[in-house]
Structure 1
Amino acid sequence: MRHTEWLRRHGATAARILGVAAFYYGGAQLGLLQELVRGQVTPLWPPTGIALTALLLFGPRIWPGIALGAFLVNVSLGPSLSVVLAIVVGNTLGPLLSYRLLRRAGFRVELDRLRDAVALVFLGALTGMLVSAIIGSGVLVLSGALPTGNFWPTWAVWWTGDAMGVLVITPVLLLLAAARRPRWTGVRPLRLLEAALLAACTCAVTLLAVSSPMNLLYLVSPCLIWAAFRFQRAGAAPCALLVSTIAIVAAAGEWGPFAGHDLLTNMATLQAFNGITALTALLLSAVVTERRNTHEEIRRVCAQLAEALSRLDPGAAAEQWPPPRKQKPDGGG
């Protein structure tokens, strides 16, 4: 009996580890389609978001899956096995550090509080991903795979790419992990129509912004505000992912505002835009969700008070609670 329980428990853990490694590898292949430096540094690295999500959902025991996925990705890209192993260590330590920082900050995977969104941005993305960027860029320079003068551009692309993976991918994966099977009978047709219209408008406006030679990237902001206010995280996170993906493709192809500039300038423009997009979507949706939850809590407390009052005074059960405000009499002249 104990042997069966041991196999069941550890078998489930092993399956999760292999699943994380597979998703990590698949996300890396998607990210490498838009590589900018030495075939392995990209402006958006989805595996960091996948790794942090796995740690938040399954705990730190899942770390071998992250290491295995990172090894499979880098073994064909690194100049030597020692360099690959160092990069794997950095790619594993970065998400683990982010996970520890978020847990110490009391992070909740529901992302329904402003403090959760702020923690994900500054602890999960910007701070935790420093480790992988420093180790990865440093070992490439020390091994001679990169010139010393390219350390800072490579570090900047690596760090911002890893951070964008957390900011853009993690909220979407946490949303999918918490999603339930939709009950279409309870969804109003106008709600579905609004969601489809939001997706179409976001895509069209973003394509217009990145295709124009003028700097029209700010036109995307109303779509993100619309998504956050009307659909909260369920709308804001996918819209931010859609916008960032289109912007990355435009930067790689040097379209519109990204045409005629060097790598560092395009990276600064792209990552500033992607960062503002993710910040707007995350923070605004968290504020709206927190406000809605507070309002529901106040209504629940009022209902409990009304029920308690009705038990003390049965005649007051029919009275409205909370009582309506009394109108002030008009002052005489």
Structure 2
Amino acid sequence: MAAVVGIRAWPRPIVLVCETLLVAVCYYAAGRLGLSQQLVADGAVVTPIWPPTGVAVACLLLFGLRCVPGIAVGALLVVASLTAPRLSAAGIVLGNTLAPVCACLMLRAVGFRVSLSRLRDGLMLVFLGAMTAMLISSGVGIGTLALTDKLVADDFWLVWLAWWVGDAMGVVIVTPLLLVLHRARWPPPSGRWGEAAGLALVVCVLVPLVTYSSVSVLFLVYPLLIWAALRFQLAGGMPCALFASVMATVAAREEAGSFARLTDIETMMKLQAFNGTLGLTALLLSSVISEQINTRRSVEQACQELVEALQHLNAGGPGSTGSSGGGVR
């Protein structure tokens, strides 16, 4: 307790600097992870999932706009690790900073809940936070590269699509997972530990087999994803989707399994379609189940309160009712 009081007693500028550095480090680490799984499609380097966008949107939703400097610094560090500081780098940093900010502002404006306890919240995160807001980062980034002659005109739409989908998938898959981790408490509830362990074992064994199988059986991942989402909602669905997406990306980079004998364009399109359907299924199904559970609990609570109210009214007995009637007459 004394340590917490001591931290809160720090001068506000020092607290803001520490928060900025922490957000920047998290953004940079997520960027390096994303770059480690990059693909080459028709000569252009793309990332099927760009985790920093998910990290940025989650930080803004949880801690507010004071995270903006940290996001900008983290984006600058990621770009600086790839190329020398130039005008194109400044444009990419600007786009990667503005897109999460716009996502946060739009989600707040429509009443988004970080608990993702409603289907509406999942839909808003997908259509506003991911698909709409990430048009900014992809548009500004690709536009800057085109204006500075860093991009071949024939590759414009291919690179733009890959950039946009990668950023959007970062929001769809990474942001919900971070929001769940922020709400998690230790120790976790002890119920259904056996089922959770069994699910984790099956996922860790079956998903690599499916992604590396010479027969195209990627669809076998979806029953596992549905199981995880039905039983554990976001806490089960999103880690399962992320693991399957990472394994599929690794298989695509190695041109193994279902991604063997495909062209670069076919590999990118198949992988991004798989990742997109995984993320959407996990997020929306988990939101639906959470909403149904919350509705049932609300109904049960209302019924319990009604029963208690009736018991309280009947506690007076017939004599109390008769006395009250005599007073009225």
TM-score, length of structure 2 as denominator length = 0.89
Spell out, residue by residue over 1:175-199, the C-alpha distance to the aligned partner (whole angstroms, 9 max, x if none): 111111115xx614xx222112111
Which string of whole-angstrom CA distances, capped at 9 and with x for unpartnered residues, describes residues 277-296 of structure 1?
11111111111111111111
Q: Which moved more, 1:22-31 or 1:32-41?
A: 32-41
The equivalent of 2:122 in structure 1 is 117
- Matches of 2:195 and 2:243 in 1, distance apart? 17
Is residue 63 of structure 1 aligned with residue 64 of structure 2?
Answer: no
Give the Cα–Cα distance (whole angstroms) in 2 for the partners of residues 251 and 61 of structure 1: 38
Output one character per residue of 1:183-217: Cα deviation in whole Å (capped at 9) or x when no partner: 5xx614xx222112111212322222221232211
Q: Is the 8 A contact 2:44 2:159 kept in 1?
A: no
Cα deviation 1:204-232 (Å, max 9, x = unaligned): 22222221232211111110111011111
Residue number among 174, 181, 185 corresponding to 1:180 in the alignment:
185
Runs of 4+ in 1 over 4 A off after TM superposition: 4-7, 37-40
Aligned partners of 1:297, 1:236: CA distance in 2, in Å? 24
Q: What amino acid sits opposite 1:10 in the alignment?
A: P
Residues 103 and 130, structure 2, Cα contact 8 Å, conserved in 1: yes
Contact 2:46 2:162 survives alignment (8 Å): yes
Matched residue, 1:17: 20
Decide whether the 8 Å contact of 2:237 with 2:283 is kept in 1: yes
How many positions carry a matched residue from both structures? 309
In the alignment, the residues of structure 2 paired with residue 8 and residue 221 of structure 1 have an alpha-carbon distance, to the nearest angstrom, of 50
Residues 254-298 of structure 1 show CA distances to partners (whole Å, capped at 9, x for unaligned) of: 111211222221111111111111111111111111111111111
Task: Give SS of 2:205's match.
Answer: helix
Distance 1:231 1:106 in 2: 25
Tell me which amino acid in the other structure corresponds to 1:66.
Answer: I
Amino acid at match of 2:218: L
- Going from structure 1 to structure 2, the CA distance change for 1:128 and 1:211 (only over 3 Å counts) comes to same
Residue equivalent to 1:217 = 218
Partner of 1:141: 146
Q: Structure 1: state its 5+ residue gaps.
A: 317-333
Letter in 2 for 1:254: E
Partner residue of 1:157 out of 139, 154, 162: 162
Q: Which moved more, 1:142-151 or 1:6-15?
A: 6-15
Cα deviation for residue 135 of structure 1 reads: 1.4
CA RMSD of aligned residues (A): 2.0
Q: Structure 1 residue 234: deviation in Å?
A: 1.0
Q: Equivalent residues in 2 for 1:1-333 (5 A)?
A: 8-37=11-40, 41-78=46-83, 80-183=85-188, 187-188=190-191, 191-314=192-315
Q: Distance in 2 between matches of 1:5 and 1:32?
A: 36
CA contact (8 A) 1:31 1:45 kept: yes
Change (3 A) 1:153 1:39: closer
Deviation of 1:44 after TM superposition, in Å, equals 1.0
| Residue pair 1:224, 1:281 contacting (<8 A) in 2 also | yes
Amino acid at match of 2:141: G
Partner of 2:327: none
Distance 2:211 2:154 in 1: 31
Q: Which has the higher contact order (CA 8 A, sep 6+)?
A: 2
In structure 2, list runs of 5 or more residues that go unmatched. 1-6, 318-329
CA deviation after TM superposition for structure 1 residue 79, in Å: 5.5
- Deviations along 1:14-66, whole A, 9 cap, x unmatched? 22111100000011111111122578631111100000001001111210100
